[in-house]
A and B are shown apart, each in its own frame.
Chain A
Amino acid sequence: MTAASLGHEPHHDDGLALYREVADIRLLGFVLFLISDCILFSSFIFAYLYMRNAAPVWPPTGVGLPDANLAAVNSIVLFGSGATMHFAMENWKHGTEVKFRRWMVATIILGALFLFGQGYEYTHINATWWGSTFGAAFFTLTGMHGFHVFCGIVFLIILLNQTLAGVYNKKQYFGLVAGTLYWHFVDVIWVFLFFLFYVW
């Protein structure tokens, strides 16, 4: 590359070029945020593995491990919301806004259903948060996850509102991209939690 090629050429569609650059920067920032969030969950998962390994007997006496059947259905509800979110995005990219809205609403409803399922689980499991190391790990991890799901639902509702207000268009929709990634991320964390608490 020569010195001559490093000039500043005037641009005519500066609005879009600027948006693309800013969206690119924000995407990287958002992905890095998700990575740091991963570390948060990983640290508590480490704690769970450590405590489980160190315990003389597992589950600790007096603790009833949770039932996988309802959790399996709840997992499918959450994964299903990931699929509906994906369909929503596809429709947005193709410009079919009505369908986009329907799939978004479906995602939000499924997400809320997941939280209700968690609530049922919390009230019917034979363990307390403070009563055992199992409870400490289970309720802290699933609680943190549930909090992330709740924030995700709020995020999606805000995004839906923004699309109704015309904030995004077919070429400029970084907020929707961020929301989708966040929702998939929350999904994948649950894969690990389901495996660690209900299968292994």
Chain B
Amino acid sequence: MTEHTLAYVLRTIAIIGAIVVGVVAIYQVRNDWKTPGLDIQVSKLLLALMAFGCVIVILSSWGIIGWQTKGY
């Protein structure tokens, strides 16, 4: 497998994984939106930030942001 193909495969895996995990995270935040309790609030914040992280991974792997824009 050439280096280019490997990069392509890795990026595809990253994008698909990020979509799955991001959706799960957002879904849980929405489910627990009204639930009270310090632990739930902190969880919601951290899961939302994690979803944001998934967005970063998608954008970076697709070549839209970041200095490693070797094109997708």
**Which secondary structure characterizes the binding site on chain A?**
helix
Q: Total A-B residue pairs with C-beta atoms closer than 8 Å? A: 112
| A44, CB-defined interface residue at 8 Å | no
| A133, CB-defined interface residue at 8 Å | no
B70 to chain A, nearest CB (A): 9
Complex Cα distance, B68 from A195, in Å, reads: 12
Interface string of B1-37 (1 = CB under 8 A from A): 0000011001101100110111011001000000000
| A28, CB-defined interface residue at 8 Å | yes
Residue of A nearest to B59 (CB): A199
Known pairs A68-B68, A82-B50, A194-B57 / 11 extra A-B pairs, C-beta < 8 Å: A27-B38, A69-B6, A69-B68, A76-B14, A76-B18, A76-B54, A79-B54, A185-B46, A198-B66, A199-B60, A199-B65
Residue numbers of B with Cβ under 8 A of A are 6-7, 10-11, 13-14, 17-18, 20-22, 24-25, 28, 38-39, 42-43, 46-47, 49-50, 52-54, 56-57, 60-61, 65-68
When A and B form their complex, which 3 residue pairs have the shortest distance between CB atoms, in order from nearest?
A191-B53, A76-B17, A72-B14
Residue numbers of A with Cβ under 8 A of B are 24, 27-28, 31, 34, 65, 67-70, 72-73, 75-77, 79-80, 82-83, 86, 177, 180-181, 184-185, 187-188, 190-191, 194-195, 198-200
